[in-house]
Amino acid sequence: MRGDTFVRAVTDASFDLRLGECLALVGESGCGKSVLASALLGLLPGNAETAGSAHLGDTDLMTAGENVLARSVRGRRIGLVPQSPAAHLTPVRTVRSQLEETVRELTGPPRAEVRAAAERAAERAAFPADHLDRHPHELSGGLAQRAATALALIGDAPLLLADEPTTGLDRDLVERTVDELKRHTGDSRALLMITHDLAAAERIADRVAVMYAGRIVEIADAGDFFGARGPRHPYAGRLLDALPEREFTPIPGMPPELTALPDGCAFAARCTRATERCDRLPAFENSVACHHTLEVQRA
Ligand SMILES: Nc1ncnc2c1ncn2[C@@H]1O[C@H](COP(=O)(O)OP(=O)(O)OP(=O)(O)O)[C@@H](O)[C@H]1O
Ligand code: NI
């Protein structure tokens, strides 16, 4: 997508998401998580190419026109917590006025109720009431994050797409924020949470999707993934082992450049289980793409 170089940022990603469900999408920086989110929202740069389908109810997001996406999808049917909230807030207007405008646009309540609805959204995202009259540049990263979360909650969209919603937050606020996202999801909405924070994923996710070098390599039930059964893809296993509260062993090596992906398994070069079979790309079968999945540790 950049200049003359073709970057295969996301390949063959396939997953579903049910109402009432939270799917956490995890993986190292640069693996394609945000590109996937942008593709769903029609927010990729103009020179990007996409193929495939993404059904939200009876709308195919991949073929829907920009007017449909702008008018009825973004904000209304998909609420977005963007990865760089500061860039999405309007610099010249206070947080209150942006919240109120979004309330008016998306929910159209009687004029007298707009202010209270904006304050309620702020409160749900733990955005302090005494900062509502500030401008974005007067906010810390964590506060801008919370303002963006408040904006995303307003439309009551059936799908919430949260791209790193806890960046810059202390642990207790991380927990409060993800708990609120989960509560908001309830039985009638779905949440796709992109995160580096596996502890936050463990806290609220029903399922986990692990991405590596542009591909989803494993989708697992969160209880299995974080519990006794453990991940099945060696990369996912190493991600968990890298956590401070587990082995704290970093994954050696670096992910491959997306402009120079190998023909076979992209993780093979870093994988202790790799054999010559890994020169062939493993198919995504039974929710995992690996020729040598980790043994199930529990009978
Ligand atoms: N506009 C763009 N033009 C060219 N390449 C891009 C563009 N946007 C993203 N990429 C490339 O696509 C790849 C995936 O990027 P993406 O932002 O989706 O990663 P990510 O998994 O969200 O990482 P992070 O965890 O750091 O947010 C990266 O290699 C990036 O360089
Ligand atoms: Ni990202």
DSSP string across 149-171 = HHHHHHT--SEEEEESTTTT--H
Q: Which residue intervals of 125-242 are DSSP H helices?
A: 141-154, 171-185, 198-204, 222-226, 234-241
CA-45 nearest atom, ligand 1: 1
* Cα-to-centroid distance, 13 and ligand 2 (Å): 16
**Is 0.90 surpassed by the pTM of this model?**
yes
Average pLDDT, stretch 88-112? 94
Instruction: Tell me: pLDDT of 299 over 60.
Output: no
Average pLDDT, stretch 145-150? 95
Secondary structure letter of residue 12 according to DSSP: S
pLDDT of residue 135: 97
Give the model confidence (pLDDT) of 21-79 as tens digits. 999 999 999 999 999 999 999 999 999 999 999 999 999 999 999 999 999 999 999 99
**Amino acid letter for position 68:** V
Does residue 83 contact residue 74 with C-beta atoms inside 8 Å?
no
Does residue 22 contact residue 193 with C-beta atoms inside 8 Å?
yes
Pocket flag, ligand 1, residue 2 (CB < 6 Å): yes
Average pLDDT, stretch 170-174? 91
Instruction: Tell me: pLDDT of 104 over 60.
Output: yes
CATH for 22-205 is 3.40.50.300
* Cα-to-centroid distance, 213 and ligand 2 (Å): 13
| Distance in angstroms (rounded) separating the CA atoms of residues 111 and 120 | 15
| Distance in angstroms (rounded) separating the CA atoms of residues 180 and 120 | 13
Residue 98 in tokens = 């942006």
- Partnered with residue 63 across adjacent β-strands are none
Give the model confidence (pLDDT) of 228-275 as tens digits. 999 999 999 999 999 988 999 999 999 999 999 999 999 999 999 999
| Ligand 1, atom 10, residue with closest C-alpha | 9
Of 277, 266, 273, 162, residue with least CA distance to 216: 266
| Residue 237: Cβ-neighbour burial (10 angstroms; 0-12, 13-18, 19+) | buried
pLDDT of residue 3: 62
Q: Spell out the domain ranges in the chain.
A: 22-205, 229-299
Pocket flag, ligand 1, residue 1 (CB < 6 Å): yes
Reported ipTM: the value is 0.97
Pocket flag, ligand 1, residue 33 (CB < 6 Å): yes
- Phi-psi group of 157: left, alpha or beta (phi > 0 → left; psi -120 to 50 → alpha; rest → beta): beta
Pocket flag, ligand 1, residue 3 (CB < 6 Å): no
| Distance in angstroms (rounded) separating the CA atoms of residues 24 and 193 | 5
**Confidence band for 298, pLDDT divided at 50, 70 and 90:** very low
With both helix axes pointing from N to C terminus, report the angle between 171-185 and 141-154 in degrees, rounded to the nearest 10: 10
Instruction: Tell me: pLDDT of 144 over 90.
Output: yes
Ligand number nearest to the C-alpha of 45:
1
CA-196 nearest atom, ligand 1: 25
Average pLDDT, stretch 162-187? 92
